[in-house]
């Protein structure tokens, strides 16, 4: 059993900043996440993508942002409990116990849920799933893993176009196929792909994957003309979207609205000693931005402090006064 002042559930940007801010307020903090590394959705889905709306950075890659947040939180030595899915919540008189799916129990004076979109899993490619880990992937944590390869990207959303544009300078070739002639991706991204050396094919879909033991090629099918073609590739990036849900959190008695946890202006949920911030939290007028999550994390931590330490002030003063 682990004891801490504050348990943060979710190691994405909001949770990592919350860990820093909790340390700044003098709290001991543990951070639990079902993924094996910090960063949440950013690390898993778009570590190489540029983010343009984080204050102080004209542009910053997702993984670099995560690395800096980990460094910032590291000043106060948070305890990371990675690979642990928060499974069960029990209330005591003045504490909360959260038990992970591996049986690890964390007793805290307060809990801050920063689980983003919740647990997410990729939509599987209908064929060739036996090649997962052998050339077929759904995320690209490190672009250089595909340097010099022939790559097939499948999908028509922002992720598919982002991967294609990111891989185009380093891959030997990039082919992007989508089963429809219209795309969900931003028009600007579509125009950039059309102007690049990426081969863009619509309306095509993957009918077969072959190779031994790794992917060597795919058979694709034009759904309009019934034409078939072999594309020789060593890597497939299936960017078909993902399923997301709150998992065990739906059984905790939290007040939910459309798969989000309802909070008040102090980021309090309907459960005592339980707060929520970031994309997982919801209130009227909510704007889902990383910048918003940072502010909500600070708000949640500051309002949790007098719960954890009765008599303490909500507002700590400005960090520049701390020296």
Residue ranges for the known binding site for FAD are: 14, 33, 41, 46, 86, 120, 279, 320
Minimal CA–CA distance to 152: which of 170, 164, 134? 164
Task: Tell the residue number behind the tokens 């570590």, with chain if given.
Answer: 47
Residue stretches of the annotated binding site: 14, 33, 41, 46, 86, 120, 279, 320
Residue 273 falls in which region: left (phi positive, over 0), alpha (psi -120 to 50) or beta: left
Q: Please state, in angstroms and rounded to a whole number, the distance separating the CA atoms of residues 132 and 103.
A: 29
Q: How many CA atoms lie within 13 A of 168 on its CB side?
A: 18
Helix (H) or strand (E) holding 176: strand 173-177
Q: Are 103 and 221 in contact (CB under 8 A)?
A: no
Q: Where are the beta strands (DSSP E) in 1-51?
A: 2-9, 29-33, 50-51
**Rounded distance, CA 107 to CA 57, Å?**
37
């Amino acid at each position: 059993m682990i004891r801490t002042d504050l348990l943060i559930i979710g190691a994405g940007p909001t949770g990592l900043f919350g860990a820093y801010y909790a340390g700044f307020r003098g709290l001991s903090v543990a951070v639990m996440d079902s993924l094996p590394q910090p960063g949440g959705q950013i690390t898993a889905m778009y570590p190489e993508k540029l983010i343009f709306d984080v204050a102080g950075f004209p542009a910053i890659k997702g993984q670099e942002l995560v690395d800096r947040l980990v460094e910032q939180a590291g000043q106060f030595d948070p305890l990371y409990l990675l690979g642990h899915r928060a499974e069960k919540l029990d209330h005591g008189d003045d504490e909360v116990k959260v038990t992970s799916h591996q049986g690890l129990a964390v007793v805290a004076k307060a809990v801050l849920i920063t689980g983003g979109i919740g647990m997410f899993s990729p939509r599987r490619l209908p064929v060739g799933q036996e090649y997962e880990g052998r050339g077929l992937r759904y995320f690209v944590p490190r672009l250089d893993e595909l340097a010099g390869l022939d790559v097939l990207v499948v999908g028509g959303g922002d992720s598919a176009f982002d991967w294609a544009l990111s891989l185009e300078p380093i891959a030997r070739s990039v082919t992007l196929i989508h089963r429809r002639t219209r795309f969900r991706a931003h028009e600007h991204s579509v125009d950039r792909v059309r102007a690049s050396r990426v081969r863009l094919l619509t309306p095509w879909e993957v009918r077969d994957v072959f190779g031994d033991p790794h992917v060597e090629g795919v058979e694709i099918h034009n759904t309009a003309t019934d034409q078939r073609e072999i594309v020789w590739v060593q890597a497939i990036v299936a960017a078909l979207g993902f399923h997301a849900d709150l998992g065990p959190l739906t059984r905790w008695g939290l007040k939910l609205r459309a798969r989000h946890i309802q909070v008040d202006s102090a980021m309090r949920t309907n459960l005592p000693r339980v707060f929520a911030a970031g994309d997982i939290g919801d209130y009227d007028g909510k704007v889902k931005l990383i910048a918003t999550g940072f502010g909500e994390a600070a708000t949640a931590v500051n309002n949790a402090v007098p719960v954890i330490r009765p008599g303490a002030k909500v507002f700590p003063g400005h960090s520049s006064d701390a020296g």
